[in-house]
Amino acid sequence: MHHTLLLLLSLCAAISFSTRLHAQRVVDLDEYTIAQLQEGYRSGAYTTEEVVTYYLHWIESIDRTGPALNSVLQINPDALEIARQLDEERRAGRLRGPLHGVPILLKDNIDTHDKMETTAGSRAMKGSHPLQDSWVAAKLREAGAVILGKTNLSEWANFRGELSISGWSGLGGQTRNPYSLDRNPCGSSSGSGVAVSANLCMVAIGTETNGSIVCPATANGIVGIKPTVGLISRSGIIPISYTQDTPGPMARTVTDAAICLGALTGVDASDAKTLPSAGKAHRDYTVFLNKDGLKGKRIGWNKGAAGQHFKVDALMLQAIEHLKNQGAVIIELDAISETNANGLSFEVMLYEFKDGLNKYFAALGTEAPVKNMEELIAFNAADSIELKFFNQELLVMAQARGDLSDSTYLNALAGMQKAMREDGIDRVMDQHGLDAIIAPTGAPAWKTDLVNGDHYMLGTSSPAAIAGYPNISVPMGFVDDLPVGISFFGRAWSEPVLLEIAYAYEQGTKHRKQPRFR
């Protein structure tokens, strides 16, 4: 009752606010798409400045107070000035790109060269100002987006310690699930997933090493695209794994995620992983969206997650029935790979985390708050908050690793990629002539537990994550008012066919429901 009252009070305040702001034009952007937003701009229904003011108000009303979702870590103090500039450009007939005037939030491990910090949620990184924009931030600005601010995250993208809590950071505290406030938003792109779901922005950018886009997508009832590693540059992103890390868009619809994806692609000389994307990347992925895209598609059903949660199993069977009714052929797969590559992947992450993080600190120059991983470990040990709920064992383990010439690292890297590429996803897709593979993304959100940490029941992100291949999570339905997603994944650079399939499924089912902050 208390949360309902707060929400009603916030709603009344917002209506009053909107009325004053728009000179009697009450604007309600809940569940708006990019296409609807752009049509409003074209018709003169509102300006970018008005839209940004609207979102900033709702962040204050819903995120900071009201239900207090705690998804936004920082507000861009220049957001309104950027909006005014974009309005001037629009009036002059100059549109930067498909995201002109679209408000976007960035996960706070993505560098911006402005008045905002980039912290990974760590108190050790308070006051850290990168010397230049990340590739992602630069491409968004180029496309006309308004970077509203930075989102909270699982600290260090959830690669710090044992019994960690998704959505918690030393700087930001705990992010809450908008469908049920005592439940977890999953992570590590927790704030990005929650902010999109709660309509605090149009689109957000997350990052994934293994599950950190698709898990908060499923837990918060939205669409998340984890692209092929190298489709979007990682330059200026606080790293975990050079081999597995990638940024990706999170949105309420497949179309909006596809629009954002196209704005971020390109070859970046600073990130060698992007070099193979030449000739395989696209600037406009919306051309692949096809309502009849399931017809004739051969889709493998990865049954490895079956039997772990009967309620999720029931939703999955309904999804499969829909896919069949729309003309898809479903082939059951007992496993993707005969080798469990998770241990190999973990070893690779430890080595690459140390190497990548030390390089990131060095790139900050003389003003870096901490200079290396060893200093970070010492800071956390002396801090009053950082180790309050869980330890930093992963940092300690990474610090103990050697450099990237070690045979242990090289063998683990070769082993995991063989297991999940040629002996995994590529093998089963060749064997069965598949266009994509499906699986439930995860189970419904668990209750946040600061004592025992996260309670994962199932997750299917590892094959695509370890292979470095694309994965798209789309809402599949609800279990007791909590959303659950379905994942579509496949070969390297197969985003076009995955988007075609995911869009057709989304349009045929329309499972997305706005959260009510219970």
Provide the annotated active-site residues.
Answer: 107, 188, 212
Query: What secondary structure letter does DSSP report for 288?
Result: G
CA distance 41 to 48: 8
The total of other beta-carbon atoms located within 10 Å of residue 23's CB is 7
The radius of gyration computed from the CA coordinates of the chain, to the nearest angstrom, equals 22
User: Which uninterrupted H or E stretch holds 430?
Assistant: helix 426-432
CA distance 141 to 110: 14
CA distance 349 to 462: 13
Using DSSP bridges, classify how beta strands 329-333 and 298-302 pair: parallel, antiparallel or unpaired. parallel
Positive/negative CA dihedral, 38, 214, 373, 379 = positive
CA distance 48 to 266: 27
Q: Is-contact 3 518, C-beta < 8 A? A: yes
Phi, psi of 338 (to 5 degrees): -80, -10
Q: Is-contact 196 440, C-beta < 8 A? A: no
DSSP letters, 240-268, are: S-TTT-EEEEEESSHHHHHHHHHHH----
User: Is residue 54 packed enough to be buried (19+ CB in 10 Å), middle (13-18) or exposed (0-12)?
Assistant: buried
Q: How many CA atoms lie within 13 A of 114 on its CB side?
A: 22
Q: Is-contact 168 176, C-beta < 8 A? A: no
CA distance 78 to 101: 14
Q: Is-contact 100 91, C-beta < 8 A? A: no
User: Which uninterrupted H or E stretch holds 485?
Assistant: strand 482-489
CA distance 281 to 241: 22
The rounded Cα 194 to chain-centroid distance in angstroms is 10
Q: How far is CA 25 from CA 16, 46, 52, 362, 474, in A?
A: 11, 9, 15, 50, 34
**Which residues does residue 110 pair with via DSSP β-bridges, in sequence order?**
237
Using DSSP bridges, classify how beta strands 103-107 and 203-208 pair: parallel, antiparallel or unpaired. parallel
Using DSSP bridges, classify how beta strands 329-333 and 436-440 pair: parallel, antiparallel or unpaired. unpaired
